[in-house]
A and B are shown apart, each in its own frame.
Chain A
């Protein structure tokens, strides 16, 4: 069973709209979460990380974390076509070993 589950598998939003992506872990040993973004044909790059309960905002991107439910979400406001990518959630359950979800493919339509 995958340690990290992401939903939805794919998401289409209009340009300027809000995109909301979800990630949950089934492993009670998970403590930290990351969100990576991977454009088509490129390597994943870290977008945001969150270690504490609550919310973290960086520009148009906001991440929420609920450690009790091991749920994190990524929200992208004012979505742009350049935001179209595969978004990967990663969780740490053992030192320096990250477990990645299958990703959410986001398409922002002009």
Chain B
């Protein structure tokens, strides 16, 4: 099965501080995504990328930046963390090589972020 790892798994940050969440995939997938999930709710897309050194905005990009330095790595950056950014963040990857699993997304274990 596809492998996506995230670090850290949990983090406590202070309001106004900088937070960087990292994601690494070994699936050779071109596409990577960052989502946030608020307790008991669905996933909202923050940023995504389909090639190294390029990122795209998702539905809720405000307050977040993304970086894709290589095919395997995708980071989410909160320059000035705020209380409202307390959530669980999931990274995912997918490919478009065709077949039954085309566009199926494989998720990492998540990072639980608490901003105080």
- Chain A residues in contact with chain B, CB under 8 A? 4, 6, 32, 34, 42-46, 49, 86, 88, 90, 92, 95-103, 105
* Cβ 8 A contact of B104, one of A4, A43, A46, A95: A46
Chain B nearest CB from A109 CB (Å) reads: 19
Inter-subunit contact B90/A102 (CB<8 Å): no
Q: Which of A6, A42, A44, A100 contacts B44 (CB 8 A)?
A: A100
A88 to B90, CA, bound (A): 14
- Contact of B42 with A45 in the complex, beta carbons under 8 Å: no
Q: Is the CB of B104 within 8 A of A49?
A: yes
Q: Judging by beta carbons under 8 Å apart, are A95 and B105 in contact?
A: no
CB <8 Å contact, A97 and B40: no
- Which residues of A lie under 8 Å from residue B31 when comparing CB positions? 96
Q: How far is the CA of A49 from the CA of B105 in the complex (A)?
A: 11
Cβ-defined contact, B42 with A96, below 8 A: no
B94 at the interface (CB under 8 A from A): yes
The reply to whether A88 and B43 form a contact with Cβ atoms under 8 Å apart is yes
Closest-by-CB residue of B relative to A98 is B105
**Contacts A96-B31, A96-B50, A96-B94; is A45 near B44 (CB within 8 Å)?**
no
